Amino acid sequence: MEADELLVLVAGGDQQAFEDLYGLVSGPVFGLVRRVVRDPAQSEEVAQEVLLELWRSAGRFDPRRGSALSWVLTLAHRRAVDRVRSARAAGEREQREALRAGEPAFDHVAEEVEAGLEREWVRRCLDRLTALQRQSVTLAYYDGYTYREVAERLKLPLGTVKTRMRDGLTRLRECLGGAA
């Protein structure tokens, strides 16, 4: 079935037709929303809102005014633009409120610089570990392996890995203690 026919059935409450229509339009809807909103999480949320709105308002579709896909993408575009405008307005309100309160507005550049400095500090502290400690800590905390998996990858007894990790994390904590 075509999207136009499916949308008419959806307007009558046909759940199977909605599932079929969802399969046809969810990709284009998300793609359009993603181009407008840009943030992946926000895009997913907006796309979900559009598809929910599609289920609720399918009866408003008029096939004489255009295709179902055009109508759905128009809904998606409007909702995405609304989200961007809302986010922009919220940011402007926060800045105005910060100015009124005499506080500096949130500084994204300063936050990024600070995060970069923290990453550099962690790198320096990691460099102070022994090669074996650094390897174990990196596998566990950066690559996401469990202690048991680290032991298997390094072909070492689990107890040895646990000792390396404990000693390495102690040294890291001491090194990073000056960062707090």
**pTM of the predicted structure, to 2 decimals:** 0.55
Q: What percent of the chain has pLDDT over 70?
A: 94
* Residue 94 sits in the same domain as residue 134: no
pLDDT surpassing 80 at residue 102:
no
pLDDT in tens, 10-59: 999 999 999 999 999 999 999 999 999 999 999 999 999 999 999 999 99
What's the number of domains the chain is made of?
Answer: 2
Are the C-beta atoms of residues 94 and 105 closer than 8 Å to each other? yes
**Residue 175 neighbours by CB under 8 Å, 6+ apart:** 124, 125, 128
Q: Which string of DSSP letters, residue by residue, matches 105-150? A: PP-HHHHHHHHHHHHHHHHHHHHTS-HHHHHHHIIIIIS---HHHH
Burial class (CB in 10 A: 0-12, 13-18, 19+), 131: exposed
What value does the mean pLDDT take over residues 126-130? 89
Q: Which two tokens stand for residue 67?
A: 């295709």
* Residue 31 sits in the same domain as residue 17: yes
Give the chain's mean pLDDT.
88
* Residue 107 sits in the same domain as residue 124: no
* Residue 161 sits in the same domain as residue 75: no
Q: Residue 73: which of 61, 85, 59 has the closest Cα?
A: 61
Q: What percent of the chain has pLDDT over 90?
A: 55
Single out the residue in 80, 95, 113 at which a domain terminates: 113
3-state secondary structure (DSSP) of residue 30: helix
* Residue 8 sits in the same domain as residue 76: yes
Domain that holds residue 25: 1-113
CATH number, domain of 78, equals 1.10.1740.10
* Residue 97 sits in the same domain as residue 132: no
pLDDT surpassing 50 at residue 154:
yes
Single out the residue in 113, 135, 159 at which a domain terminates: 113
Q: What is the pLDDT of residue 7?
A: 94
pLDDT surpassing 50 at residue 180:
no
* Residue 83 sits in the same domain as residue 164: no
